Amino acid sequence: MPHHDIVIIGTGSGNSLVTPELEGLDIAIIEEGRFGGTCLNVGCIPTKMFVVPADRVAEAADAARLGVTFAEPTIDWPAIRDRVFGRIDPIADGGEAYRRSQDFVTVYDQHARFVGERTLRLADGTEVSGDLVVVAAGSRARALPDVPGLERIDPERGLHTSDTIMRLEALPPRMLVLGGGFVACEFVHVFASFGVAVTQVQRSDVLLTGEERVVSEAVTAMARRRSDLRTSTRPRLAERVGDVWRVTVEDGDGQTEVLEAEVVLLAVGRAPNGDRLDAEQAGIELDAEGLVVVDSEQRTTAPRTWALGDVCSPWQLKHVANHEARVVAHNLAVALGKLDAPPQHSDHRFVPHAVFSYPQVASFGPTAVQLEAADVPFVTTTQSYGDVAYGWALEDQEGFLTVHASPDGQILAAHCVGMMASTVIQPLIQAASFGQHAHEVARGQYWIHPALAEVVENALLGLRVSAPDGTTGS
């Protein structure tokens, strides 16, 4: 049985664990799919490369309010698609080739399951073990097992997930998107911008249900203007008739309707892959959601075994996986005696996320409802894009930033919808992470006038919190 110093399962952020401190050890990497994991191949990177041209189309359509109009856009789908994967696929291939070229790394390109503590059996029957093991096996797109006809993903028959939808041979006339989370909303933006007649079905009354309620309501209202959105609606039955899917849906009043489309996109979330590893055979505990249980050092319940990324994280975000990978890499080096240092702990206090819909959504920290439920005292303010000078230039009447802070001025959360929301909230993430007082952030530096960042400055000044000297003001 091959035995290694370290066995790493997964090559998303897991691939970055081979740091200079660990080079020269006997390292095994197990990857049954493409190198690079979800983000590189089917997630963050390709989706945003599709979002950018979609943004240009949407911006051109919106330019009429600025006195500028354009002709209808011409969408060259093969050129867009091939530009994306012409860049991404070589990166994945090159990453695998590089690891295979390293004489201290062994790559196993098969599925593996645990058969004992720190011992795995590959699909071909080979057993592999390690002194240390890292589970970075990621997640997978969900199907809808409770809906007849949608139990099994079938791209050959036009039933896709985010893993396959971006490699379509041609744009379909119609698309049905099932789901209302960030994956669904981003793809609705992309394909609606490219001229596909998109119908989106969401079981809740609003999109992006995890966001601040006012953000969810604003995004839902905007989405209704760009595509056919059905909220409080559930799929009940689906069948493929010729080249068309016929999906029966039921609304909140119990009324049913049959929706037709050539392509159906299942965007109903991702499941962690811990259940595909027979983790219990290794003493690795999974929680009720199927996530590998880890502590703050990313250690699992099994000895000398760590986990990181989507397989153990409720956030399912690349920047979280990267952070956890840095922690695990350090802790592996400590465990092996390569570093004389204490273990590191993951910092999940202020985890931000963004939705690259049109317009963007971004946030970190709890919502007002969550703060109230936890009985946390807070003050809040909302700053409209349209009330700062650059917002005037944009003629933006919809974008806004909401900030929650403690009464003594510590930033607790920010929730934003509008142009470049993912960039707008970054100063607030920094301020919260370093414990900076809201008014000191607003007044302790210059803010470029008339840049969009004045939305942040004005929001901070609008918070009625005690000043650093103990006085109260706004």
Can you give the pLDDT at residue 471?
A: 61
What is the domain-level CATH number for residue 171?
Answer: 3.50.50.60
* Same domain, residue pair 125 and 233: no
| 281-307 pLDDT, tens digit each | 999 999 999 999 999 999 999 999 999
Does 145 fall in a domain? no
* Same domain, residue pair 101 and 20: yes
Give yes or no for residue 473 having a pLDDT over 70.
no
Mean residue pLDDT of the chain comes to: 97
CA 357/CA 398 separation, integer angstroms = 14
Does 275 fall in a domain? yes
Mean pLDDT of 63-72: 95
Does 341 fall in a domain? no
Could you list the residue range(s) of the whole structural domain that residue 313 is in? 3-140+271-335
Q: Which residues of 285-310 are buried (b: 16+ CB within 10 A; e: fewer)?
A: ebeeeebbebeebbbbbbebbbbbbb
What is the domain-level CATH number for residue 379?
Answer: 3.30.390.30
pTM: 0.96
Among 330, 345, 404, 449, the active-site one is 449
Does 27 fall in a domain? yes
Can you give the pLDDT at residue 21?
A: 87
| 369-401 pLDDT, tens digit each | 999 999 999 999 999 999 999 999 999 999 999
Can you give the pLDDT at residue 23?
A: 80
Can you give the pLDDT at residue 470?
A: 63
Can you give the pLDDT at residue 474?
A: 47
Mean pLDDT of 331-350: 97
| 208-253 pLDDT, tens digit each | 999 999 999 999 999 999 999 999 999 999 999 999 999 999 999 9
Does 112 fall in a domain? yes
Q: Show which of 268, 298, 314 is a domain's final residue.
A: 268
- In the chain, how many domains are there? 3
Does 104 fall in a domain? yes
Q: How confident is the model at residue 469 (pLDDT cuts 50, 70, 90)?
A: low
Counting Cα atoms < 13 Å in the Cβ hemisphere of 414 gives 35
3 catalytically annotated = no
* Same domain, residue pair 262 and 275: no
The number of angstroms, rounded, from the C-alpha of 46 to the middle of its chain's C-alpha atoms is 12
